[in-house]
Amino acid sequence: CLLGNGNLYSTNFMAHLTEQVKMKFKYVSILSYLFLSFGCSQPTGKIPLISSIEAEKVLANGGYLFLDVRTEQEHESGCIPNTPNIPIESLEARINELNQYKQKKIIVYCRSGNRSGRGTDLLIRHGFDAVNLTGGMNQWAGPVAIKK
């Protein structure tokens, strides 16, 4: 077998080289699978949901905390009463602020349910009992506080 610069390589050498390439490929494939499966911030899967109607029923229940993950401007223009605001962009960095609520179920909301879905997933991965308010403020039929 002639390769590259005209050197003659034995069949055994080529077979050995081919086996090494196969082993490296398997190793890289396994590492890639593990990284993609368990590395980074993988979503937990199905995000638990609560409807506006169900959430409104527990609004006064002390066992629940409503958390607004919208921007501060959005929060001030209208929010569910007595709810803290931690924008989704800073939620992970500020997660320790919520440790005092670990014993409560946290109902996470935003405008439509997209950002709060990400926030719910993040909270669950940090050991909180959290659910996403479906439809967010767009579907909220309960009381609204305006802070401006």
Tokens matching residue 33: 């699978």
Using CA atoms in the order 67, 90, 126, 74, what is the torsion angle rounded to 10 degrees? Answer: 20
> In terms of C-beta distances under 8 Å and separation of at least 24 residues, what long-range contacts does 18-22 make, across chains too?
none
91-113 average pLDDT score: 97
Whether residue 89 contacts residue 122, with contact meaning beta carbons closer than 8 Å, is answered with no
Q: Summarize pLDDT for 137-146 with one digit per residue, the tens.
A: 999 999 999 9
What pLDDT is stored for residue 38 in this prediction?
A: 44
Catalytic-role residue among 1, 40, 79, 110: 110
Q: Summarize pLDDT for 49-86 with one digit per residue, the tens.
A: 999 999 999 999 999 999 999 999 999 999 999 999 99
- pLDDT mean across residues, the chain: 84
Is 110 designated active site? yes
pTM given for the model = 0.70
